[in-house]
């Protein structure tokens, strides 16, 4: 029996025909590779556009009974996105659940390759090789220290051991809170403004920061408004992410 990223044994059948994904980026990964396999996805699975599959509520509150009714050969999840009680309930109902655990770009590329080939029983797609090449070819410019808010009211930022932090580090941006004990700490805005950052990186998800909502909290500090899908998703977006994010970071300005 094969094991997922957490080391849990997963009874994957020899042929997989039906997949339910509980993570938007994993949904896009399967849809871009073997779209006919998807039988269900969360309400938050927005890529690819027009995806026509049964919806099973959100990542944090999936409709476990509905997932079971869909009779999937495998359910795909992630340790950061999905709650352990939901995973346990699915497994108790006899459903095979494959959990990914991803905190770096390298882990993402390796994990997605295993998920597709071992959990979904499909060949590794060409876009994975393209993503490997895209990230291997990065030549970062001068390093900058940044704060990376992901929410406001209350303000929350990326802390230690996050995929987002690793993406930025590869692009020459060092997270001021990379050594914080928490992965997503709540930090008062006054402390953020005085953290010694040279840049504020403001994604449009999970909180939708815009030119009119976010930069004004850090007067005098250049802000880079970036596409959250390229910053936080692991999947086909990894192919274009280095170039897109590099451009958005270079366009940082004081608002």
Residue-wise pLDDT tens digits, 101-127: 999 999 999 999 999 999 999 999 999
| Residue 88, pLDDT above cutoff 90 | yes
Q: Are residues 161 and 221 in the same domain?
A: yes
Q: Are residues 143 and 120 in the same domain?
A: no
Structure-block tokens of residue 216: 């004004």
Residue-wise pLDDT tens digits, 11-55: 999 999 999 999 999 999 999 999 999 999 999 999 999 899 999
How confident is the model over 174-199, as a mean pLDDT?
96
Residue-wise pLDDT tens digits, 216-243: 999 999 999 999 999 999 999 999 999 9
Find, among 133, 136, 135, 116, the residue nearest to 124 by Cα. Answer: 116
Q: Are residues 10 and 80 in the same domain?
A: yes
Q: Which domain holds residue 169?
A: 139-250
| Residue 142, pLDDT above cutoff 90 | no
> What is d(CA 121, CA 51) in angstroms, rounded to the nearest whole number?
21
CATH number at residue 235: 3.40.50.1980
| Residue 141, pLDDT above cutoff 90 | no
- Evaluate whether residue 35 is within a structural domain: yes
> What is d(CA 242, CA 133) in angstroms, rounded to the nearest whole number?
11
- Evaluate whether residue 105 is within a structural domain: yes
Q: Are residues 58 and 146 in the same domain?
A: no
Q: Which residues pair with 55 in a beta bridge?
A: 41
Q: Are residues 117 and 80 in the same domain?
A: yes
> What is d(CA 191, CA 186) in angstroms, rounded to the nearest whole number?
10
pLDDT at residue 151, rounded to an integer: 97
pLDDT at residue 242, rounded to an integer: 97
CB proximity list for 11: less than 8 A, separation 6 or greater: 1, 96
How much is the pTM? 0.94
> What is d(CA 41, CA 21) in angstroms, rounded to the nearest whole number?
5
- Evaluate whether residue 129 is within a structural domain: no
By the 8 A CB rule, do 115 and 2 touch?
no
């Amino acid at each position: 029996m094969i094991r997922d990223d957490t080391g849990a044994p997963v009874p994957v059948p020899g042929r997989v025909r039906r997949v339910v994904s509980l993570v938007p980026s994993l949904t896009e990964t399967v849809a871009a590779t073997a779209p006919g396999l998807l039988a269900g996805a969360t309400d938050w699975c927005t890529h690819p556009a027009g995806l026509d599959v049964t919806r099973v509520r959100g990542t944090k509150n999936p409709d476990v009974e509905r997932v079971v009714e869909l009779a999937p050969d495998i359910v795909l999840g992630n340790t950061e996105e999905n709650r352990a009680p939901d995973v346990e309930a699915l497994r108790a109902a006899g459903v095979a659940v494959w959990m990914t655990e991803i905190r770096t770009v390298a882990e993402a590329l390796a994990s997605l390759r295993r998920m597709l080939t071992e959990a979904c029983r499909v060949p590794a797609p060409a876009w994975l090789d393209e993503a490997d090449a895209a990230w291997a070819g990065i030549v970062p410019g001068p390093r900058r220290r940044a704060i990376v808010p992901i929410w406001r009211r209350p303000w929350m930022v990326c802390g230690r051991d996050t995929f987002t932090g690793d993406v930025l580090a590869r692009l020459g941006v060092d997270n001021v809170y990379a050594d914080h004990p928490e992965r997503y700490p709540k930090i008062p805005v006054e402390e953020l403004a005085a953290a010694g950052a040279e840049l504020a990186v403001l994604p449009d998800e999970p909180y939708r920061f815009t030119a009119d909502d976010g930069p004004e909290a850090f007067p005098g500090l250049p802000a880079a408004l970036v596409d959250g899908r390229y910053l936080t998703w692991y999947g086909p977006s990894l192919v274009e992410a280095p170039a897109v994010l590099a451009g958005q970071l270079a366009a940082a300005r004081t608002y």
